[in-house]
């Protein structure tokens, strides 16, 4: 098995095509897309159509929702807060209008039917974290927070896309003495020493023009590789 894990296409069809091309040479068996398929810059309808109907011989992409999709749901009033205050703060009134116009109600419905995340083997694949779609994990996130997200994910590998960065943070809980006292006295101590677990940033396909990044992972042997694909005019 060999997974290709993508995030952050953000409507950038050219970048997505370039990545699909690159994937063809990698003997990939599963294609995961961790949210943000739509965005402010690209052609959102075109990318949604492309995802909905893969060509003959192409893998069926497995998509979960991301930050941009949640903004879309909020705008269309199908979930979350009304009127997408987060989006407003990020892109202003004009941006909100442009984004609203770029996606049909039909497409919103399709996006809404996509997954929340994927629990596969000992891996969780999700846009932010189980805390929230907006939870942005980076190599600079405090160690204890990364550790907490891994515990909450109940996984050895947490793949996420919110930051757009490609990175691997290996977190080892080395030691902790936990003592619980109840009305019945001191309880037997908990075993806290654990093996290392990984938080993995899968990169971003469409966020930086000209360069797409994504991740390859084979769940059998834990082998991880970051791919960088240049496209368009140099």
Partner 1 sequence: MKLAVISCIHGNYEALKAVLSDIEAQKADQIYCLGDLVGYGPYPNEVVNQIRSLEIPTCQGCWDEDIVEGLNACECSYPSQLAEHRGKLAHEWTNKEIRPDVREYLATLPLSLKRDNLCFVHGSPNSQHEYLLPSMDGFAALERVLSTDADVLFCGHTHVPYVRELADAKLSVTVKSPARSDAPQQFQATLKRIINAGSVGEPRHGRPNATYVLYDTDTAQVTLREVAYNYTKTCLAILEKGLPSIFAWRLARGMEFAERADDPTHVCER
In the complex, the residues that contact partner 1 under the rule CB under 8 A are 116-117, 130-131, 139, 142-148, 151-154, 165-183, 187, 190, 192, 201, 213, 226, 228
User: What does the block give as tokens for 213?
Assistant: 């990044």
Residue 130 Cβ vs partner 1, minimum distance, rounded to whole Å: 5
Asked if residue 32 lies in contact with residue 229, where contact means CB atoms within 8 angstroms, the answer is no
Residue 53 Cβ vs partner 1, minimum distance, rounded to whole Å: 27
Nearer to partner 1, 44 or 215 (CB): 215
Nearer to partner 1, 54 or 210 (CB): 210
DSSP 3-state of 114? coil
| d(C-alpha 212, C-alpha 220), whole Å | 26
Nearer to partner 1, 53 or 178 (CB): 178
Residue 232 Cβ vs partner 1, minimum distance, rounded to whole Å: 20
Nearer to partner 1, 27 or 176 (CB): 176
Burial code (b: 16+ CB inside 10 Å, e: under 16) for 3-31 equals bbbbbbbbbbbebbebbbebbeeeebebb
Asked if residue 175 lies in contact with residue 141, where contact means CB atoms within 8 angstroms, the answer is no
Nearer to partner 1, 89 or 180 (CB): 180
Q: How many residues does the chain have?
A: 234
Nearer to partner 1, 45 or 145 (CB): 145
How far the first Cα of the chain sits from its last, in Å, is 34
Residue 107 Cβ vs partner 1, minimum distance, rounded to whole Å: 21
By DSSP bridging, strand 118-120 and strand 123-125 are antiparallel
Residue 179 Cβ vs partner 1, minimum distance, rounded to whole Å: 5
Task: Report residue 99: phi and psi, to 5°.
Answer: -65, -45
Asked if residue 180 lies in contact with residue 187, where contact means CB atoms within 8 angstroms, the answer is yes
Residue 43 Cβ vs partner 1, minimum distance, rounded to whole Å: 28
Provide the 8-state DSSP code for 205: S
């Amino acid at each position: 098995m060999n997974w290709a894990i993508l995030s952050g296409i953000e409507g950038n069809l050219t970048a997505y095509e370039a990545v699909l091309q690159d994937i063809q040479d990698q003997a990939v068996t599963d294609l995961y897309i961790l949210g943000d398929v739509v965005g402010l810059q690209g052609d959102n309808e075109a990318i949604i159509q492309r995802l909905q109907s893969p060509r003959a011989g192409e893998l069926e992409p497995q998509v979960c929702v991301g930050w941009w999709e949640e903004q879309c749901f909020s705008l269309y009033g199908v979930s979350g807060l009304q009127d997408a205050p987060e989006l407003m703060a990020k892109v202003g009134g004009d941006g909100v209008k442009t984004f609203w116009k770029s996606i049909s109600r039909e497409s919103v419905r399709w996006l809404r039917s996509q997954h929340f995340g994927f629990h596969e083997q000992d891996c969780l694949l999700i846009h932010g974290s189980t805390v929230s779609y907006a939870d942005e994990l980076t190599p600079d996130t405090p160690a204890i927070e990364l550790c907490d997200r891994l515990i909450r994910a109940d996984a050895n590998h947490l793949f996420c896309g919110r930051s757009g960065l490609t990175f691997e943070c290996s977190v080892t809980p080395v030691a902790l003495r936990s003592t619980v006292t109840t009305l019945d006295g001191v309880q037997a101590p908990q075993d806290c020493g654990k093996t290392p677990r990984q938080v993995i940033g899968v990169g971003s396909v469409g966020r930086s023009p000209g360069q797409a990044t994504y991740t390859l992972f084979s769940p059998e042997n834990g082998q991880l590789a970051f791919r960088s694909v240049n496209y368009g005019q140099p």
